[in-house]
Chains A and B, each alone.
Chain A
Amino acid sequence: MAMQPAVLAETTEPIEPEAGRLWLRALRAPLTLTGVIITLVFVVLAVIGPWIAPYDPSAVSDAATAAPSFDHWLGTTQNGQDILSQVLYGAQASMLVGLGSAVITTVLSVLVGITAGYLGGTSDELLSLLANVFLVLPGLPLTIILAAYIPHSGSLGIILVISLTGWAWGARVLRAQTLSLRKRDFVEAARATGERTSKIILRDILPNQLAVIAAAFLGTVTAAILTQASLAFLGLTDVTQWSWGTILYWAQADSALLTGSWWWFVPAGLAIALIGTALSLVNFGIDEFINPRLRQAGIATLKAQRAQVSRRRTKRVRLSGDRQPRPAGAPFTADSTDVVLDVRGLKVNYGATTAVDDVSFTLRRGEVLGIAGESGSGKSTLAYAITRLHKPPADIPQGEIRYTNADRSTVDVLAMDDEQLRAFRWEELSIVFQSAMHALNPIMRVGEQIEDALVAHRPGMAAPERAARVVELLGIVGIPADRAGSYPHELSGGMRQRAMIAVGLALDPEIIVMDEPTTALDVVIQRQIIDKIMELKDRLGFSVIFITHDLSLLIEMSDTIAVMYGGKIVEMAAAQDFHERPQHPYSRGLLESFPTLSGPKKELSGIPGSPPDLRRLPSGCSFRPRCPAAFDACAEHEPRLYQIGASSAACLLYSDDHVVKMGESA
């Protein structure tokens, strides 16, 4: 049973989602299925309970306080009433209260929440005020008082009481959700299409909140059943109307606990616990029913996690003791052999999908290695793998990442344990991510965040020394020292990105990996940051792995460029060579996709088609379907990297066979 979703996903993944089958598939998640079955059983029992009950639940008999027997499956009460019949009758009252209150509560909160959130303005303020008033009403005492006043109104009274005290919370949540959904692009797009407000609410806002609404609904069912049971147990409802709570009330009143008549109170208690558990199980699964993206993703992640478990590394290597400072090196030259990072045959899998395939490169001291690639090329996965920040389902089944320490000894980054890894990251290698707003903690001052790295890695450093270092670092990246006390949101995007770079520099790392550090910034600010990085690199002598899709930028700033496509490096060359003589047809296509500002307008040809899906790479060369130079052999052979002068390119045009053939035909 446990393996079923994985197998199923494998066979059906490429198939178009069909509504009916999706439901079936989601239902196969064993926990959700269990929850749904239990819930259904209770609903059915609630409906047919009175008909299948063997006795009248209130009928008195001679068999007083009898343990479960063939005549009375769940035993009897002190008055000889059949407990099974009471539980069956009770199911009706409990489920009615649960579902009834949940329906009314949900309808009220959806109406108020979405109207207030979408319309805004005065109606929002009035409705929010109303919700807030109901929110501060003390729910439990009110429920008890109201219930005490209307004890003979039966279930209806309780439903009303629970709904009145419960709707406000849901309305608040839905209002907040609506407020954020209202600002989303697809709502604006619907408006710009000319859609009516009512339709936008019904078709754009509401369906995207179904998960929350359903969760609130199920939660209310549970809460209402519990409230009803509590009220009945306290004797605040009509004690002659059977419900699970009433059973417990009588069991308590007639000292079932003292006489050890466990069969009296256990079934009702168990029923309440069971339905509660079942509804929570359904609740967990509900997101996958509703969100078309999660329907597949949930299953894929599960599969990948399972694959991950079977492959744990056991090799451990100690990192060399104290860190020695390196002597300042000479500026980088193309023939340098001072390798700091050597990546060999690195492979990264997401479950069955290979995101990075057999990638090898070396990074030398002071070098800027630019990695270019489009979305899905594997460039960001590579960045995460180098820093070992990849999380399951990502997994590195093969490859080597060797880092050269200051004393020339090398360590395998992939073999480090957690402790070594913590020391390695930031001390030797730091990372600057694309979105500084997300990478910085919004509730900590910028200065504190830089200091944090120092506190963690330099425990011996005294506070004044640390403060001085923070000021120094801010100065290095060009942030005025008085901004150390600012929170991230008080800084501009460019300033935040500088702050991130300052954090990355805090421990004088040897390598800085930058994953699209300037993509979210405007060109003018980008230029400031890039100039700063290059200046710092020359001054401090670190190496940079710079990852971006912006080839123009890479050519300007890199020493060496690696182009990734479909998880592989397809071309590697010195930046100048690459710009003047791109070898791989993909590189040529990329360079012909960029509009230029200087020089005459050139013809832009671009590349037909779109980047490949890593889950379904074409056979042979993965660029083949888009390649203007493709020939038959490209479908059969996966090209390795061929050497062409100082560059190398993974293209069969440069294979010996092809070159010879061309020579013959010429």
Chain B
Amino acid sequence: MAEPTKICPYSLPDLKNTSDDAVAAYLKTKSFAQSHTLTDVRLSISTAACLIAGATFYLDYTQGFEKTKTFTLYACIAYFTLNTALTIWLYFFESSTIYVGKHKTAPVSLTISSKVTKHDPTYRLKILQTQVVDGKNIVRNRDVEGPFMDWIDDKGFFVKKPFESWLGASVPWILENEDVPKELDSSVVTASGRKVQEEMTGVEVGSGKGSVRRKGKKV
């Protein structure tokens, strides 16, 4: 969040949420358009569930138990089905993803998930960068981490500059001056048209010095 909202610098959820929000805000300035599909699916499932419960409550309140029995039965089935769907969605699809977005001009998209470990004030991002080169999808996975204290001061205010330079340095493409990496030409990784998740295995892991490189198999 760019606004000077004060948080408690000792609370990990606060630190994580503030930083998660800052990722989206920063990428917006770097002409990435955020895709809200994941969030929207979650919100629509929850809204539907709440509406069903609300309708049940209203009918039950105005007409009583006996008259609304059949409706209540179907409503209960629908409600708990939606609840299960929501749990599955949260667990398997949305999980820790905090950002999905596409560059407005360049054929690059980012999927970012964040993680903190209990009692460890380190912000960990997993950045999946999908690039289209010669009509083929190339996925690059970066795991970066940084201490929260680099961009949240001791009073609990978020400081924009160090955060943005940290994130920018982690993902050179964001700074809009990175060439397509040589080791990621089409002979190394993947064919086009497949999902990011499927291509994660066998893709280059990490970046920069000392990173582990695995040669992906051609799919």
Does B associate with A?
A: no
